[in-house]
Chains A and B, each alone.
Chain A
C-alpha cells in the first residue's frame, strides 16, 4: 500500500514537473520559434498518447490515425477559410462530432478483421482520405494546403494560444490516463492479452475495441485541430501515411507499455528532428536506422529501459527491498 502510494506520488510529481517545464517556456524564452517547437511537442504528445491507447494498451496497431488528425485539422482549416476566423472554436467542435461519426462507421468496418489486416485497412482508408483531399483541389486547396488560419480574439496572441494548447493537451492526457486505469482500461488490456477470455467474462471484445478506436480517434482529431492554429496552416501531408508512422515511431521510441512513454517519445523525436532534420535531408534514413536499433535491442522504449535500469540499480544498491 505504501509502495503504491509512493509510486502515485512520484508519478504525480513527474507530471507536475513536465507541466511546469512547459508552462515556463514562454516565460523563459521570448523566441517565437522555441514556443512553436514546444507547441509541436504538446500536440504531437497528445497524438502519440491517443495512438498508444490503441496499440500499447489494446494491441490494435492502427496505421491510419493520420486520417483523424487530418480531419480535425481540415475541419478547422476549411471552416476558417470559408466562414472566417470567428468559426475557429465551433469548427473544432464540429470536427470532433464528425470524427465521432466517421470513426464509428469506419470502426465497424475495420475491427471486423484482426491483427495485420486491421493495420493495413486503417492505412488504406487513411490513404484514401489523403487522395481525396489531394485531388479535390477546388474544395480543399489540394497540394497547396490552407494558409492563414488565425485563431480569433485573444487566442490570436501566440502566447495565449500556447497556454490554450497546453491546457487542452494536459486535460486530454489526464482524461486518457483516467480511462487507461479505469475498469474500461483493464478490459482493453485483457483484450490485448486474451480476447477469448474476455468473452468468457461476459464482456464484448468488438464493442470495447470500437470504443477505444473512437476515443483514440477523437483525441487524434483534437490534436490535429490544435495544430491548425499552431502553424496557422495545414497541408495534405497531415493526412499522409507518414504522419501515422511518426505517431507510431514516437510511441515506440518513448515506450509502449508506459502511459507517458509516447509523450516523452514525442518530445525526444521532435527535438532530434529539430536539430538533425534541419541539417540533413536524409532525416528518414537516420530515424529509420535509430528505430531499427530500438526495435531489435530496446523494444521497451526509452522510458521502459530507464525504468528497468532504475529497478536494477535499486536491487543492487540494496536500499530498496520490497
Chain B
C-alpha cells in the first residue's frame, strides 16, 4: 500500500471509467433526447468488439482504422434499428415498457446472431503496435495501452462537449431533450435528429467495445454486464445528464479498480452500495438539480 500502488490502481480505474463513459454517455444521450431507454446498448458494445476483431484480427486492418470503421458500422446498425423498429412504437400507450421489451428482443437477437457468425468461443484481439509495452513507475507497471484508452476517451469527451455546446446539431439535440414538440414546431426534423443521435450513441458504444477488446475477452453475452454497469453510472449521474454520466463513470471506475485490489471477489458489490446510497438520499442523481418525478 504505497503511492505507486495507488497511482496504478487510479490509472486502471480511469481506464474502466473511460470505457464505461463511452457506453453510458450514449445511453444517457438517447434517453435525454428521445426518452428512449436503449436496453440493447450493451449489445452494440459487444458487436463493436466483434467488428473490431473482424477488421483488425481477421482482415488485418490497422487497429485505429478498424476502430473508426467499427464506429461507422455500429452506428449504421444502430440507426437502422431506430429507423426500422423503434420508430414504429413511439407514442404508443405504455411506450416505455414496450421500448424496453423491444430492445430486449434485440439483445436476444443480436446475441444469437453473433454466436451464429463468430461462434461461441472466446476471441481475443492484440493490442495495437506501439502500445504493447508498459511504463515502469517504482515497481509497478502501467500499460501504455491503458493510457491510450484514457487519451482517446478524453478526446471523445472534448469532442462531445464541442458538438453539444458549439454546433447546431448539438444545440438541436439539447433543445429536443428539453421539449421535443416545440423544437418540431420550429421546423426541425426531430425524428431525423433522433436517428442521428441514436447513430452517434451506438457508434460510441461500438468503439468502446473495440477499445475494450484487447483488455477483456470478446464473448457473446458481454453486453449485459456492460449495460448494468452503465445503468448504475447513468442513475448515479442522473438520467439524461451528460456530465453526470462522466463523473459517475469516474466514480464507479475508481471504486471498481480499488475494490478489485482489496476484495476481488466482491468488487461489484461496491458499485451497488453506491447505487443504494444514492437512491436513498438523492434518487434523481448526484449531479442533477431537476427532480425525477
Interface residues of A (CB under 8 A from B): 55, 59, 61, 63, 109-110, 112-117, 119-121, 123-125, 127-128, 131-132, 135, 241, 245, 248-249, 252, 256, 282, 284-285, 287-289, 291-292, 295-296, 299
Contact A116–B100 (Cβ < 8 Å)? yes
Contacts of A110 on B, CB cut-off 8 Å? 279
What are some 28 contacts across the A-B interface (CB < 8 A)? A61-B96, A61-B97, A61-B100, A63-B100, A109-B279, A113-B235, A116-B31, A116-B100, A117-B292, A119-B37, A120-B231, A121-B275, A124-B231, A124-B272, A125-B272, A127-B228, A128-B269, A135-B266, A245-B108, A248-B101, A282-B112, A282-B115, A285-B116, A288-B108, A288-B112, A296-B85, A296-B89, A299-B92
Given contacts A59-B97, A124-B275, A128-B268, 6 further A-B contacts (CB under 8 A): A124-B232, A135-B265, A282-B112, A291-B101, A291-B108, A299-B92
Contact A115–B224 (Cβ < 8 Å)? no
Interface residue B287 (Cβ < 8 Å from any Cβ of A): no
Contacts of A249 on B, CB cut-off 8 Å? 101
Contacts of A127 on B, CB cut-off 8 Å? 228
Q: How does the 8 Å CB contact mask read for B207-246 relative to A, with 1 for contact and 0 for none? A: 0000000000000000010001001100100010000000
Contact B108–A284 (Cβ < 8 Å)? yes
The total number of A-B Cβ pairs within 8 Å is 104
Say what secondary structure dominates the interface of chain A: helix
Interface residue B1 (Cβ < 8 Å from any Cβ of A): no
Contacts of A124 on B, CB cut-off 8 Å? 228, 231-232, 272, 275
Q: How does the 8 Å CB contact mask read for B250-293 relative to A, with 1 for contact and 0 for none? A: 00000000000000011011001001100110010000000011
Contacts of A61 on B, CB cut-off 8 Å? 96-97, 100
Contact B112–A285 (Cβ < 8 Å)? yes
Interface residues of B (CB under 8 A from A): 31, 37, 85, 88-89, 92, 94, 96-98, 100-102, 104-109, 111-113, 115-116, 224, 228, 231-232, 235, 239, 265-266, 268-269, 272, 275-276, 279-280, 283, 292-293
**Chain A: CB-nearest residue to B111:** A284
Contact A114–B293 (Cβ < 8 Å)? yes
Contacts of B102 on A, CB cut-off 8 Å? 292, 295-296
**A119 CA / B227 CA spacing, docked (Å):** 13
Contact B97–A123 (Cβ < 8 Å)? no
Contact B105–A291 (Cβ < 8 Å)? yes
Contact A114–B292 (Cβ < 8 Å)? yes
Contacts of A115 on B, CB cut-off 8 Å? 96
Contacts of B232 on A, CB cut-off 8 Å? 124
